[in-house]
């Protein structure tokens, strides 16, 4: 009996299509001979599509994507400063729109320093933590505006919206993840300044903690958390935080674990009501697009998260191990995008 | 003819009084024999005062502080989790209140890696930049609230308020600073998500840049900026950014330059309408208070910023040089708070 997974593939812009090609290669290798079949639909979305048609994400696109079981995304965004994109906001209109419309309230971003992986820290120690970033609230809701725009009296506001409903569900997810890991959870916020949102987050963590007495909970202000990420990243296991703080912490975490060329992420809708979306943390890097130098490891890591999300734990573990082995045995010689994908895929066929 | 500077001194809580004592020692040494006399008033403010009297910052305190020419602050804040402080918010009610009431719209935070200073980065390169953090707007304005608090339907909002008036004045300050340094200015924001505030910041930088054609301007999203702070901090000279991003970046910057035990800051009102306030970036660290192990270097660095602000450039430079020499000649042997202060003061007397 075969299981068919309907997979929406959004290669996107810049290096997106290049890294997605390697991710697909690895997905095929990881599931070859298994009873899972991926039925793929390719969506042309991003700055390229916008420049051709003026569309960012139509209702039809969205409806079609929603009919899939999961999504793999490369990267979206055009060349910075391209005048033709002046009025487009591909990030908000496409990437964030997908996260919000598909209710991706868990943005899961693991950070692990693999043996042999060079990084910027002199003495990194063991780094292996996961950031559970809230994905549908906070300062990302687009709840802002400006008055008297362009005048000396302009006022521009941005409102961070946080709900008990939204905070509780992501905090629960983080506690459950901590149960399966080393049972340490750190809430990161800025409760001494953002007192209303901070209080909601803090009370929610305290309440959910009651049901998880074996999880050790601590709290850090976001500024202090960035310090620990460079002085003692080994102290972290599961971090739960809001949308904006999670954005900042995961880029920094990516850097300390060897670069965002390695950082994978899952935009998860745990209820399964909508398809979850798996993407590298990096962007479309138009400056190196077409040169064959983009590192596809992050995109391939997203495949491991996808497989895990689909309940294909063995396949997920095999991909993770293949990535880990590939990284630890990397020579000094630079490899092309395809060479990295081939090498990881080959480990799965072995 | 002597010049008398009325100086308000707020030692504060925890290690605050210990580091301020050393800062005063260095201030005395730096100005001994000069025609400047500091007329000091000591203010008992912070968690200690709150626990004694229930006051955080009274109108009388504020009026008295306002009658001074400048302020030196150690650190404020009680022991985290102290139940008696549950309803106090010393940070908002005292520290932020001072910054807002005294219109400290420039929060100046230099970051420099001194020769010989150990830090977390394997290959830090030359680090010498200044963050100009906006101090009176953004998500720090206290413009939030919650409804249905404590129920499953709670909504907690925080509004970031940004005005043309507020953004322009701090951006102008940053450009003028860049003119006196290596003429490179980086705006850090999150314009692709916080589109209203981000647009105001970006347009303001573009407009002010017209009057400073020799300053090279670039832009980074806050998440990308944290990456560069650990992979290539040497790329920065002057960073201008909003209140919250500046908070995060300067703690991280402090960490990469050897720890926030070294990071000084000035809360500046450039118009001179209200006294400016000089403080270390670190907090009150109640866990090490009384042990004599706190590093007073950041508090002493704030004295250099104070002297510079008062136009005492030579004295400021001498203090900066004494700090730099002290750091580069530091042995492995740990020194007490007073020993560090004595050593730096002695260099000024020499
Ligand atoms: C492109 C941008 C909107 C996005 C974000 O801020 O979430 C990106 O930085 C990320 O982290 O996925
Ligand atoms: C104590 C806190 C309110 C303060 C801030 O966030 O500004 C501190 O972190 C700082 O950077 O001076």
pLDDT of residue B116: 86
Query: A158, A183, A120, A145: which is closest to A243 by C-alpha?
Result: A158
Q: Is A192 in the pocket of ligand 2 (CB under 6 A)?
A: yes
- Residue B269's pLDDT band, with cuts at 50, 70 and 90, is very high
Whether A193 contacts chain B with CB within 8 A:
yes
Counting as low any pLDDT under 50, the low residues of chain A are none
For the segment(s) A120-256, the CATH number from 3.40.50.800, 3.40.50.720, 3.40.718.10, 3.40.50.970 is 3.40.718.10
Residues 86-115 (B) with a CB less than 8 A from some CB of A: 89, 91-92, 96
Chain A: give the shortest CA distance to residue B202, in Å: 12
Give pLDDT tens digits for B163-188.
999 999 999 999 999 999 999 999 99
Whether B287 contacts chain A with CB within 8 A:
no
Query: Mutation test of ligand 2: which of A193, A194, A226 has the most ligand atoms closer than 8 Å to its C-beta?
Result: A193
First-to-last CA distance in chain A?
25
| Ligand 1, atom nearest to A95 Cα | 3
Query: A57, A54, A20, A55: which is closest to A40 by C-alpha?
Result: A20
CATH architecture of the domain with residue range A1-104+274-350: 3-Layer(aba) Sandwich (3.40)
Q: Do A120 and B150 touch (CB under 8 A)?
A: no
Give pLDDT tens digits for B88-131.
889 999 999 999 999 999 999 999 999 889 999 999 999 999 99
* H or E element in which residue B253 lies: helix B243-256
Measured in Å, residue B146 CA sits from the centre of ligand 1 at: 27
Which of A162, A227, A255 is nearest residue B156 as measured by Cβ atoms? A162
Determine which one of B61, B103, B247, B308 is catalytic: B247
Binding site as annotated, residues of A for NAD(+) = 283-295
Average pLDDT over residues B68-96: 93
Whether A251 contacts chain B with CB within 8 A:
yes
pLDDT of residue A95: 96
Rounded Cα distance between A172 and A54, Å, is 40
Average pLDDT over residues B222-226: 97
Within A148-287, where are the H helices?
A: 164-180, 195-210, 222-231, 243-256
pLDDT of residue B260: 87
- Rounded to the nearest 10 degrees, what angle do helices B195-210 and B164-180 cross at? 50
Rounded Cα distance between B110 and B135, Å, is 15
Residues of chain B neighbouring A156 (CB-CB closer than 8 A): 162-163, 196-197, 199-200
Q: Comparing A1-104+274-350 with A120-256, is the CATH topology the same?
A: yes
Give pLDDT tens digits for B7-21.
999 999 999 999 999
Three-state secondary structure call for residue B270 = coil
CB B172 within 8 A of CB B208: yes
Strand partners, A138: A161
Domain boundaries, chain A: 1-104+274-350, 120-256
Active site residue A251: yes
For residue B335 the two structure tokens come to 């020194």
> Is B290 marked within a binding site?
yes
pLDDT of residue A350: 76
Give pLDDT tens digits for A16-64.
999 999 999 999 999 999 999 999 999 999 999 999 999 999 999 999 9
pLDDT of residue B234: 97
Average pLDDT over residues B124-143: 97
Ranges assigned E (strand) in B79-203: 106-112, 128-134, 138-147, 155-163, 184-189
Whether B334 contacts chain A with CB within 8 A:
no
Question: DSSP state, B207?
Answer: H
Q: Do A158 and B194 touch (CB under 8 A)?
A: yes
């Amino acid at each position: 009996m075969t299981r068919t997974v309907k997979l929406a593939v959004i290669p996107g812009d810049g290096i997106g299509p290049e890294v997605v090609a390697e991710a697909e290669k690895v997905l095929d290798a990881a599931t070859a001979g298994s009873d899972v079949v991926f039925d793929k639909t390719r969506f042309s979305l991003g700055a390229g599509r916008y420049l051709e048609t003026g569309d960012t994400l139509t209702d039809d696109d969205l409806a079609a994507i929603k009919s899939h079981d999961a999504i793999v995304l490369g990267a979206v965004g055009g060349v910075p400063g391209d005048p033709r994109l002046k009025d487009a906001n591909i990030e908000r209109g496409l990437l964030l729109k997908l996260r919000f419309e598909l209710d991706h309230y868990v943005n899961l971003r693991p950070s692990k320093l693999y043996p042999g992986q060079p990084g910027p820290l002199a003495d990194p120690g063991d780094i292996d933590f996961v950031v559970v970033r809230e994905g549908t609230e906070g300062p990302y809701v687009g709840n802002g505006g400006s008055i008297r725009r362009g005048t000396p009296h302009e006022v521009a506001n941005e409102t961070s919206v946080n709900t008990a409903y939204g905070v509780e569900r992501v905090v629960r997810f983080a506690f459950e993840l901590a149960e399966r890991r080393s049972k340490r959870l750190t809430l990161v916020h800025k409760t001494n300044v953002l007192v209303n949102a901070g209080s909601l987050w803090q009370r929610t963590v305290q309440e959910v903690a009651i049901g998880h007495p074996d999880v050790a909970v601590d709290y850090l202000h976001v500024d202090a958390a960035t310090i620990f990420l460079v002085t003692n990243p080994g102290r972290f296991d599961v971090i739960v935080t809001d949308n904006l703080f999670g954005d900042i912490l995961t880029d920094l975490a990516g850097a300390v674990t060897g670069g965002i060329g390695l950082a994978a992420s899952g935009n998860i809708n745990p209820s399964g009501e909508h398809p979850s979306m798996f993407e590298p943390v990096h962007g479309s890097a138009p400056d190196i697009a077409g040169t064959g130098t983009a590192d596809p490891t992050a995109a391939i890591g997203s495949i491991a998260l996808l497989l895990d999300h689909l309940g294909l734990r063995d396949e997920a573990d095999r991909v993770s191990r293949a990535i880990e082995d590939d990284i630890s045995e990397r020579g000094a010689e630079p490899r092309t995008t395809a060479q990295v994908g081939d090498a990881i895929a080959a480990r799965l066929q072995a």
